[in-house]
Structure 1
Amino acid sequence: MVVPMAVDSRMSEAPRTYGNWRRPTSPGLLGLGTAGTGLMFIGLFVVLVVLMASTLLAALATAAGFGALLLLLVTKDSHGRNVLTRASSRLAWLSARSRGTHLYRSGPIGRTEWGTYQLPGIAAGTRLSEHRDSYGRPFALLYTPATRSYSVVIGTDPDGAALVDQEQLDGWVAEWGHWLANLSDEPGIEAAAVTIETAPDSGSRLRREVSLNTDEGAPEFSRAVLDEVVARYPAGSSTVKAFVSLTFAAAARAGAKPRKPEDMARELASRIPGLTGSLQATGAGAAHPMSAQELCETVRIAYDPAAAALIDEAHAQGELPEMLWPDVGPSAAEATWESYRHDSARSVTWSMTGAPRGNVQSGVLARLLAPHREIARKRVTLLYRPIDSARAAALVEADLRSAEFRASASRKPAARDSLGVRAAAATASEEASGAGLVNFGLLVTATVTDPSKEADARAAVDNLSATARLKLRPVYGSQDSAFAAALPLGLILSKHVSVPAELRDKL
């Protein structure tokens, strides 16, 4: 998805709305993209050659073969996936299952080196180190060798929208749009992600706070009230955490050697204070870079939710549960076609296949981000790929020409093609006036500790996606990879796929 980072200009009295996000299209005939149309002409040429060199029956058989291939590309489901893409996903899953790569065992009796609890899947090769920024704050630097990128995770404390007037909310949204647009000017940045995680509250922090501030000479009635609050308040309460991960290229420029963690940390140490400071104007609250210990705890709890109570209890007693990066993964995990089982929980991850149609208000994702009683732990991750200004201009102009080609390919263009031309023209106009451009996607992970509640969690996410006007689809056959991508690790999914996304879009 591509969206221009510009605020919709409306009258101050009317509710401010946002929209005009569209998927870049590729020009082609009969619903095909550029590559698909080229394949069709190649097929016609081959049929003519076979007809001249052989019999009519051979030419008809060749035409039937190419026609069946084109039919696989044209026939799409409600999520825009053609038959060939779905078939390749199923074959890849069957191949992975036959090799046993959907199973994972770690620890002393596992298959990992040195008996550690290494992260599985696409996060297995990540390496963690800790450094200090120019303010003296420790920050975790995560290196992913497969994509040659470094990631920094920023922890935030969002202010929330309760008792906040609409003018302030509009200001936050505008500042967030400016923050995203400015990312394209950051040297070496490749991706950004925002993760909102909701989980049940163990009550350890409240119990510690009350015990430390209770006067020994307080009346018995007051002490009894406090004890009852400590005992009953955590039941049904939840915590909300927000993370912003930024991913930078290891190489300073194309063709250069990847930088070492020390060199990258030295460069990012002076840039992190500016990034965290600008986040506060977006309503993210106090932003600080996460240390290695905090990141280890977050990932450990994600793979084993049962460890959350133990970690909270240790912090409540003033102890620090020291963790190392090679020991934060699950001891056992199993990926199925539609779910992911890991240690003490089972998770299902959905990906966004369609952004909300039409215009929406700023609170369109409020119910999706809020805690839900049917889901033990929920993680919503917005994935962003900033587009630099030089490439954005060429991209929007190409998208406008593609939309105009589709509308002019028929004597009576469909209403959707006409609307596409207007939307592409509006995007090009906004980009020309200075708006930024960014690719974005969304992942939703629902985790339950009781396998019998998985169906309820699925139904809850389906209902929440309807309220957010999103079109979500379970990540069939890649639940383990999607689970890791939804964590605040700065992983770039498009760099882990076999077929580039650019080629799939042109089919």
Structure 2
Amino acid sequence: MESVRPKPRTYGNWRKPTSPGVLGLGLAPTVGLLAGLIVVIFSLLISLLLALLVVVVMCAALGPLMMRDRHGRSGMQWISARMAWTMAKARGQHLYRSGPIGRTPPGTCQLPGLAAKTRLYEAFDAYQRPFGLLHIRSVDDYTAVLQCDADGAALVDDDQIDTWVAYWGQWLSTLGSEPGLVAASITVETAPDTGERLRDEINANMRADAPELARKVLTKVMHDYPEGAARVTTRIALTFEGRAPAGKRRTAGEMATEIGTRLPALSSGLSMTGAGTAVPMRASQIAAAVRVAYDPTVAVLVDRARAEGGPGLRWSEAGPFAAQESWGHYRHDGAYSVTWAMSDAPRGEVFATVLQRLLSPHDDILRKRVTILYRAHDPGTAARIVERDIKDARFKANQAKKASARDSVALTAAEQTALEEATGAGLLRFGMLVTATVDHHDKLELAASAVDNLSASARLVLRRAYGAQASSFAAALPLGLVLPRHVRVPQVLRDSL
């Protein structure tokens, strides 16, 4: 009998939110264009020179909105980003100093930028497990972080990988039904292993009367094995809104009780996704992870202190001593980092291993952090969004006498998304941040080339976060920072441009 090999499963059908408009403009610029045309018509009744002046003003206002680069950013976005960076640099906001000569309270190293107004508490969940609760006071959000021991896909059957992906999709779909859940982020960080954990494990289990051969072998393993080894950590940050549905502001104690009752269910739901055992991170563990991210040279000291049972870091000690943001990179203590943001997801269908190379350690990058950001929509909002996307896709496809292939595919994808949502699937917005950290300025371009190659293999389009390196670096950390909630321009207005 001939054996039939099953066809590999593929994934896709994600769509970028769009706004209906003409000439490549969004809804708000299109309304402005129509209003301008009406003003031109009435201006012709008064003076031809006045009408020409109105046309020039319209072109100057709408021209930058019509010009877009390969990442989909308009000229207006580029101009506003450049102006904001110039003003921030003139005010000295790109510099940060803490410690004895800084402006922070004496003896502290607070976090800079968006994470400056944060507080870290420690509470207990329903299983009496201690967990750190991070309060982002600027937007009144609360974040709990889960640390996972991912199994990895090496020597794993395709059926098992498909099962993991299916359960992962089911876990993501439940996020939209969690009351008060704002966002979730998954951070996969790769870094050189310090070897302290291995040394502590061997020293704790080596007997005094062990044979000499066994002692020599273990000693050689203890000194040689950490060379070239990589450490991969996976952390999941869950961000909840601090205000009740009625608009009442809740205290940190009330949020600790509410989040603590939900953590066991959320962590147990990850057991079938390939994430391994998910446990809440304590406050000292979160502070240590952030401290090592800002200063990789203290990784050995942090692991050694943890192995010796010493006191953990306080939140006031988690920040860098000095940091300086440049247009294209970020310098923090003795390290340099560059952060990229995903501007376009892989087109078409992909396999489950599409991100494997991007998530793996790389020789040219000291520390690499890949953070996938999710914002779930509740079922009611998801139903309205998918129906609106179908109308927008049809409007765009019917603008031309003959619809393009891309417009037809977009309409088919919108209809498929609406069908899946109607049958119980969840709807999420997702993005990605990639941070590469090196120990010398001369290695930045080498790390940037490595990330470009890795993103090409993952079929991702990444854009360097010019003028926003500090905030992007902080958002890529497992802190639960939701960047759209820190932007002054409303989300509705940004989507309509």
Gaps of 5+ in 1: 1-10
* Equivalent residue number for residue 415 of structure 2: 425
Asked if 1:47 corresponds to 2:40, the answer is yes
- 2:368 aligned with 1:378, yes or no? yes
Residue aligning to 1:268 = 259
Question: How far did 1:12 drift?
Answer: 7.9
Percent of aligned positions that are identical: 53
Give 1:315's aligned amino acid: R
Equivalent residue in structure 2 for 1:279, among 270, 280, 291: 270
* 1:319-365 alpha-carbon deviations (Å, 9 max, x no partner): 22422111210110000001000011111000000000000011100
Q: CA deviation at 1:115?
A: 4.4
Q: TM-score, with normalisation over the residues of structure 1?
A: 0.95
Give 1:113 shift. Answer: 3.0
2:191 aligned partner = 199
Q: Is the 8 Å Cα contact of residues 149 and 276 (structure 2) preserved in structure 1? A: yes
Structure 2 residue aligned with 1:142, among 119, 134, 137?
A: 134
Mapped pair 1:477 → 2:467: yes
Q: Deviations over 1:135-169 (max 9, x none)?
A: 11001111111111111111110011112111111
1:33 aligns to what? 26
Question: May I ask how many residue pairs the two structures share in their alignment?
Answer: 494
Tell me what 2:216 maps to: 224
Give distance in 1, aligned partners of 2:133 and 2:19.
38
SS of the equivalent of 1:383 reads strand
Deviations 1:410-461 (A, max 9, x none): 1122221111111111111111111110000000000111222111110000
Question: What SS does structure 2 have at the residue aligned with 1:61?
Answer: helix
1:406 maps onto 2:396 in alignment: yes
Aligned ranges 1:64-79 → 2 under 5 Å: 64-79=56-71
* Alignment check: 8 A CA contact 1:192 1:490 kept: yes
| Aligned twin of 2:319 | 329
Asked if residue 302 in structure 1 is aligned to residue 287 in structure 2, the reply is no
Counterparts of 2:490 and 2:69, CA distance in 1 = 21
Match of 1:315 in 2: 306
Report matched runs for 1:89-168 at 5 Å.
89-168=81-160
Quote the Cα distance in structure 1 between the aligned partners of 2:445 and 2:271: 38
Does structure 1 conserve the Cα–Cα contact (< 8 Å) formed by 2:121 and 2:134? yes
TM-fit CA distance, 1:210: 1.7
- Report the 3-state secondary structure (helix = DSSP H, G, I; strand = E; otherwise coil) of the residue aligned with 1:375: coil
Work out the CA distance in 2 between the residues paired with 1:502 and 1:469.
29
Give unpaired runs (5+ residues) of structure 2: none
RMSD: 1.3
> Aligned-pair distance for 1:502?
3.1
Q: After the TM superposition, which parts of structure 1 deviate over 6 Å for at least 4 consecutive aligned residues?
A: none
Counterpart AA for 2:53: A
Deviation of 1:269 after TM superposition, in Å, equals 1.8
2:436 partner SS: strand
Answer yes or no: is the 8 Å Cα contact 2:285–2:312 preserved in 1: no
| Equivalent residue letter for 2:41 | L
Farther off after superposition, 493-502 or 245-254:
493-502
| Corresponding residue for residue 341 of structure 1 | 331
Q: Distance in 2 between matches of 1:201 and 1:253?
A: 45
SS at match of 1:315: helix
Look up the SS of the partner of 2:271 in the other structure.
Answer: helix
Distance in 1 between the 2:51 and 2:486 partners? Answer: 40
Render the CA deviation track for 1:235-271: whole Å, top value 9, x for unaligned. Answer: 11110000011011111115x2211011111112221
Question: Does 1:21 find its partner at 2:14?
Answer: yes
Pairing of 1:348-359 with structure 2 (within 5 A)? 348-359=338-349
1:86 alignment counterpart = 78
Match of residue 458 from structure 2: 468
State TM-score, norm by structure 2.
0.97
Matches of 2:148 and 2:345 in 1, distance apart?
Answer: 25
Asked if 2 retains the 8 angstrom alpha-carbon contact of 1:198 and 1:377, the reply is yes
